[in-house]
Structure 1
Amino acid sequence: MQKLVLFYNPVSGHAAFKNKLDWIVEAFQRRGILLLLYRTKREGNEDFVEFLREVKPEGVLAAGGDGTVHECVNLLVKNNIDLPLGIIGSGTSNDFATYLQINEDMEAYFDKIAAGSCRRMDVGKVGDKYFINVASAGMMTSIAHEVDRRLKNALGKMAYYLKGIGEIPKFRAVPLTITADGEKHELEAFLFVVINSGVVGSMKNVAEKLAVDDGKLDLLAIKKCGVHKLMAVTADLVAGKPVSEKDCVLHLQARNFQIETTGELQSDLDGEVGPMLPLHIETIPQAIAIYC
């Protein structure tokens, strides 16, 4: 019997995932797959690596939000564990799963997992940390880890929007020096994102011509501009329209980015707190296999 390990976050989203456990176990059992459970802890899941080495599964499933997927990817890639990863998006935000359209029909997705259908994808690296979807910094990018967990469980994505509205009066541009594969750009920007997929902060299609397996990442920076242009870009993002060609948006594609600023600026990796700038971001081509 095939074995898969389920790396699940019991408090993600509305903390309701545990109510779906029996359904998921039965769904895989029906497909001839034994599901072994690993319940994540809020701090320190390094023993998951030894757990995997002992049980020797054919693959791993990460159930939770973007932060849970981020943690699982880091544990696998850092420890050279080359197992396919499935994503069961059950968090407040499930950006990477949304981009891959793997949450739309879970029974069909489970069939793909049972058949071993997967695709190798790139990841980004910042220092000793990896991200699968986005690295960012600037205004608004810290909201994911500033929103109270209880509020997030109660209101879902609305909690992020409420927090974001409160940040608008504080918008300030910061000076950035961005070097993309050796080409330097200097600008003032409200924020930047370095993305692997086209879904960021629950906003879809933020840029055109993106690929998760082309060996490159895309950088979008919203330049300092008037409030009308800023609101127009925001409206397009919320409406699911790409903004990469807007005149107040810098769009670069590269294998490596060096991003510097004056003063202090905290980064964010897949919705989790990242290192302070400067950042050196590199693409690790096709570093992980994803069931899809």
Structure 2
Amino acid sequence: MQILLRKSAACLLNRYFGTPSAASASGCTEQIQYFDRIPRMIVETKIIVNPTNRRKRILFITNTSAGQGGARQKMYPVISTLSENNCEVTVYPIIPNEKLTADSILREGFDEFGRFRFDVVLCCGGDGTLNHVINALMDLDIHVPIGYIPSGSTNDFSKNLNGDLTTEDIARAVAGTHTYDYDIGRLEGKYFNYVAGFGAFTGISYSTDQTFKNVFGYGAYILNMIATLPQNISYKQHVVVEHDGQREEDEYIFGGVTNSLSIAGVESPILSNASLNDGLFEVLLVKAPSDLIDMNEIVQGLSKGNADNPYVKVFHTRKVAFHADSLLDWTVDGEFGGSYRDATIEVFPRAIKIMVP
């Protein structure tokens, strides 16, 4: 890992010559730029200095129903690691039937003066759980870093950012000082972390029964995909796509707006150059095939990263609009995102800070 460190002059004075006034004037902020574990992705982080040395306040939101219930096993090591690293942890489980949702939990985090009482919001669950947390943070105008410990069935977003980090590694990062700003998207008022899509197979994630996912994990998606293969292959929708002064129009089997190296747990070379904080999302459009031979060409093109495939269109944009002849069912981060004939997606650059090692 290559590290480039830039320190403000005031911080250097404070560290080596003891001039607290200079440090106070600058906020004693250090910036680090380093190469993340993900190939081709440069991550910018900031070191946050805590002048009072008080215990860091962590709001820990956990969804024990996600995936195969992995959040239960991760709770103790997470809380233990955070406590050992000078953190004060408040734990809330997500229980929708008891009206304990990400939104309701975060609303309780404000004090009587309207200030948010926590330094970090830590989420343990699947990509859908993180999606609910991000939407609540944006809707409530809460600007604190987040942490994310994956325990879902696919965990695409975590694969993009955390790589092979252990639960304890992530907990130590949450207790630490490095943050990374990443882009999020918004589809008709609903925010998403890494993907919004329509078309074949996009409904698999939210239509698969939770109990089925708890038992079979990622295999539940595969089984459901096989069961719905005939209707998914025959799916097509006439859509007009407008972006950056250009217009695309065709019958599509799939459309996706992504900020990810993988979708549904599968990495595609066609998305290998994606960056999480360049202010751009990748748009992937797949034309409807005429027969199984065409379908095979599409699959080959996607698996080999061939963007010249006549059935596959890829471009980068900050804003894109979709206009369909009938309602399109959208998926955002594996959750149902609504049905629209006309939908606009836009990027919110570096809107979320996440704790990183």
Using structure 2 for the length normalisation, give the TM-score.
0.77
Structure 2 vs 1, CA of residues 108 and 16 (structure 1 numbering), >3 Å: closer, same or farther? closer
- What is the count of residue pairs matched by the alignment? 290
For 2:296, give the aligned amino acid. M
Instruction: Find the counterpart in structure 2 of residue 150 from structure 1.
Output: 211
Which residue in 2 is equivalent to 1:230? 295
Q: What's the offset of the Cα at 1:181? A: 2.2
Between stretches 215-224 and 165-174, larger displacement belongs to: 165-174
Runs of at least 5 residues in structure 1 that lack an aligned partner in the other structure: none
Return the match for 1:218 from 282, 285, 289: 282
Give the drift of 1:233.
4.2
Does the CA-based 8 Å contact 2:238-2:250 persist in structure 1?
A: yes
Aligned to 1:119: 180
Q: Which has the higher contact order (CA 8 A, sep 6+)?
A: 1
The answer to whether the 8 A contact 1:5-1:57 is kept is yes
Is 1:8 the counterpart of 2:72? The answer is: no
Task: State the shift of 1:249 in Å.
Answer: 1.0
Listed one character per residue, the Cα deviations across residues 194-227 of structure 1 (whole Å, up to 9, x for unaligned) are 0011111101145132111111111101112242
- Name the residue aligned to 1:30: 84
Q: In 2, Cα distance between the equivalents of 1:180 and 1:273?
A: 24
| Contact 2:194–2:259 (8 Å) recurs in 1 | yes
CA deviations 1:257-284 (Å, max 9, x no partner) are 1011112221111111112122100111
Task: State the alpha-carbon separation in 1 of the partners of residues 298 and 319 from structure 2.
Answer: 26
Q: 1:49 is matched with which residue: 84, 106, 119?
A: 106
Quick check: 1:78 aligned with 2:143? no
Task: Work out whether residues 144 and 353 of structure 2, in 8 Å CA contact, stay in contact via their aligned partners in 1.
Answer: yes
The answer to whether the 8 A contact 2:148-2:170 is kept is: no
TM alignment of 1:1-292, pairs within 5 A: 1-42=55-96, 44=99, 45=101, 46-54=103-111, 56-170=117-231, 171=233, 172-205=235-268, 206-225=270-289, 226-234=291-299, 241-242=304-305, 244-277=307-340, 278-292=342-356
Which string of whole-angstrom CA distances, capped at 9 and with x for unpartnered residues, describes residues 59-84 of structure 1?
A: 11111001000000000011110111
Q: Secondary structure at the match of 1:52?
A: coil
Distance 1:142 1:61 in 2: 28
CA distance in 1, matches of 2:164, 2:144: 20
Distance 1:245 1:31 in 2: 51
Distance 1:234 1:36, change over 3 A: farther
Contact preservation (8 Å) 1:102, 1:109? no
Structure exhibiting the larger radius of gyration computed from Cα positions: 2
Instruction: Work out the CA distance in 2 between the residues paired with 1:68 and 1:270.
Output: 9
Q: Could you tell me how far apart the structure 2 residues matched to 1:19 and 1:109 are?
A: 15
CA RMSD, Structure 1 to Structure 2 (Å): 1.9
